Amino acid sequence: MNKSELKARLSDLQWKVTQKGGTERPFQNEYNDCKDSGTYHCICCDQPLFHSEAKYDSGTGWPSFFQPVNEQAVGEKSDRSLFLRPRTEIVCGQCEAHLGHVFEDGPQPTGLRYCMNSAALDLHRD
């Protein structure tokens, strides 16, 4: 799918988040409090990204996961957009859509917090 077709299919917020590296508002997004079982997919290319079993309440206001479905599901990029300190951006492993960031303050077994934007995700419920 080319960029113009993708832009026509996505909402303005989904486009801003996935294609422009934006961030949605905390606590006011579709999946923050979602407890439904299923697999979260990339809103752009439908790549499976995270299982609901890896989702937890991080208290940040965004859906958070301690691991992706597999190592190829997501990619990492250095993000120096904030002056405070460098962050690690998480992108879709297939289409490189911006998903969110990963931090090293998550629960075991990984100790990671994949802090994602709901606008970049589509939950395929079981």
Q: What is the pLDDT of residue 60?
A: 96
42 catalytic residue (yes or no): no
Which range of residues forms the domain containing residue 42? 3-125
Q: pTM of the entire structure?
A: 0.94
The catalytic position among 42, 44, 92, 115 is 115
Domains in the chain: how many in total?
1
The torsion angles phi and psi of 3, rounded to 5 degrees, stand at -60, -40
Lateral strand order in the sheet of 98-103:
55-56, 64-65, 113-116, 98-103, 87-92, 74-79
pLDDT in tens, the chain (126 residues): 799 999 999 999 999 999 999 999 999 999 999 999 999 999 999 999 999 999 999 999 999 999 999 999 999 998 877 666 788 999 999 999 999 999 999 999 999 999 999 999 999 999
Domain CATH code at residue 37: 2.170.150.20
